[in-house]
Amino acid sequence: MSKMRAIDAAVLILEREGVTCAFGVPGAAINPLYSALRARGSIRHILARHVEGASHMAEGYTRAKAGNIGLCIGTSGPAGTDMITGLYSASADSIPILCITGQAPRAKLHKEDFQAVDIESIAKPVTKWAVTVREPALVPQVFSHAFHLMRSGRPGPVLIDLPIDVQVAEIEFDADAYEPLVPYKPACSRRQAERAIRMLQAAERPLIVAGGGIVNADACDLLVEFAELTSVPVIPTLMGWGAIPDDHPLMAGMVGLQTSHRYGNRTFLESDFVLGLGNRWANRHTGSVEVYTKGRTFVHVDIEPTQIGRVFGPDLGIVSDAGAALKEFISVARDLKARGTLRDRAPWAASCAHRKRAMLRKSHFDAVPLKPQRVYQEMNEAFGQDVCYVTTIGLSQIAGAQFLHVYRPRHWINCGQAGPLGWTLPAALGVRAADPDRKIVALSGDYDFQFLIEELAVGAQHKLPYLHVVVNNSYLGLIRQSQRGFGMDFEVSLAFDNINARPDDDAVPGYGVDHVAVAEGLGCKAIRVKSPNEFKAAFARAEALMAEHQVPVVLEFILERVTNIAMGTEVDGVNEFEEILCLDPELSLRTSQTLPAPAAA
């Protein structure tokens, strides 16, 4: 046993738990932690420009690689409240991040001391655990429990609030005797697996819905093995996209009201059995429960017991880690195959593959200003299969999910449930910090990009290069589209005449913020694209600038002001606002839909 400050023990535990990088902003109440980090020198620190940005960087860091836990640090008061959005986003998507905040001395917690706020109570609804540590000797146990809790069951975030006098108090701690606790993960039993496979065997047109729990469990290879063994097509959710490659014959497309494929929705509507693995039946995926469930039998596998039955009651619920369940399912299916009783799904899989080839949306538009569909078409051609996309919410994300392609797990990094604007930029920096070699492309609309645009300076300062595609229509596009239902276009335009526009530059009159100038002012590089003829040269130039300068490069595409992206209120009622393609006339007749004219700006 050795005597040391409680905060020095905390840093030793961070090291033993595998933490190598932190994102944060120092301050008076957390400076003891910074002194411990400086003394050890084992954990890289990346200085954010906003504490919310630091929390999203931690999210990106966790999401980038299996086993990662992002760490964000802030001082007392507003630093903790600024991180609430990051904690909410992480909690909603089952992402473990650790937030550490400083706090006023214990004796002043209830005396309205400067920047003293009850962050424990504020953070509780959006964390697995939030705690203000009031006894120095508890610090090692609190940190140990935090990591155990983040990794056990449904993963999620934790906030530890440390009064400054607790941080500097001396305690006894034996670092050599410290061992991380083994996480708890429930596992599917053989009997449960046999029941689920019997139900699968009884179905005529089964599907697997693959959620983010498969990615969290690092079980994507098992998913593909199970799908290939049974020949059952896979529908990934938005959080599970990449669990099976987009070009795999059994990848049947995404389903939903917005981030979906025409062929995915049609295939789902033809199914009679759904095996949900590590998914939560999110409402943008299901639409109304009545339409989604009609005529189908459901098995739901989830690591969190209270998730099963939360949206609708499945015919069979199994509480299990997705990887453990897939291992049992594979074992049962192999036994059936060895006995010659595993059903042949080849005709059903072939019909799903045919819809995937035939039911497409048009993307090749030559219009100026640009249509977003063309931007995504060019991105597919420019970036190949190794690219990792990072994005949050808006028409940019919805159209991206409809037109882009993802081929690997953790190569679609998206805050699916919370969807905070501003998330994309700092999350991309977190992904880059976790993986210095990955090809990273962030995707933002102009409003998302403006929310935390100052974090570009973090990328410049810390040499965190990535490509940020900004599709700029100078609108809150998704909100504008939803306002169609109210017959209005109110307070959603970002357009104005920028008084600093020069006659000799390429800024677009009336589009407001000059993103190129702002990005360059923050130490990054930027390129503006206004014509389809400029795409290929711009992508090549952006790659060269990243390689040369090792900073983020912004690639801004000037879009037409109004483009309505396909979406609807039910999976059987998605409106196609633009031209659609269909290579099979029979399918076209069966799925014909009215194409409403776009609303005027």
H or E stretch covering 21: strand 21-24
From residue 563, give the alpha-carbon distance in Å to each of 42, 48, 363, 476, 579. 49, 35, 13, 12, 12
H or E stretch covering 582: strand 580-582
Written in H, E and C, the secondary structure of 102-170 is EECCHHHCCCCCCCCCCHHHHHHHHCCEEEECCCHHHHHHHHHHHHHHHHCCCCCCEEEEEEHHHHHCE
Given 43, 47, 229, 479, which residue is catalytic? 479
Given 98, 131, 421, 513, which residue is catalytic? 421
CA distance linking residue 528 with residue 547, whole number of Å: 19
**DSSP annotation of 251:** B
Q: Find tokens 């199994």 and name the residue.
A: 318
CA distance linking residue 387 with residue 407, whole number of Å: 9
CA distance linking residue 573 with residue 479, whole number of Å: 20
Given 452, 453, 476, 551, which residue is catalytic? 476
How, if at all, do strands 316-319 and 297-302 pair? parallel
Here the tokens at position 383 are: 């970036």
In the residue annotation, 133 being an active-site residue is answered as no
In the residue annotation, 117 being an active-site residue is answered as no
CA distance linking residue 550 with residue 501, whole number of Å: 28
In the residue annotation, 478 being an active-site residue is answered as no
Question: E strands along 203-341, which residues?
Answer: 206-210, 234-236, 273-277, 297-302, 316-319
| CA-closest candidate to residue 149, choices 186, 101, 184 | 184
| CA-closest candidate to residue 14, choices 48, 43, 44 | 43
Given 14, 25, 277, 554, which residue is catalytic? 25
CA distance linking residue 326 with residue 518, whole number of Å: 48
Here the tokens at position 402 are: 């409809």
Contacts of 324 (CB under 8 A, 6+ apart): 185, 186, 187, 188, 217
Contacts of 371 (CB under 8 A, 6+ apart): 365, 559, 560, 563, 578
Largest CA distance in the chain: 78
In the residue annotation, 553 being an active-site residue is answered as no
Here the tokens at position 72 are: 């964000």
| CA-closest candidate to residue 553, choices 470, 471, 466 | 466
Here the tokens at position 243 are: 């669990």
From residue 281, give the alpha-carbon distance in Å to each of 127, 197, 255, 310, 441. 21, 21, 11, 9, 28
Q: Find tokens 């039910």 and name the residue.
A: 570
Given 14, 33, 51, 255, which residue is catalytic? 51
In the residue annotation, 25 being an active-site residue is answered as yes
H or E stretch covering 217: none
Task: Report the DSSP beta bridge partners of residue 553.
Answer: 467, 525
**Which residue numbers are catalytic?**
25, 51, 421, 476, 479
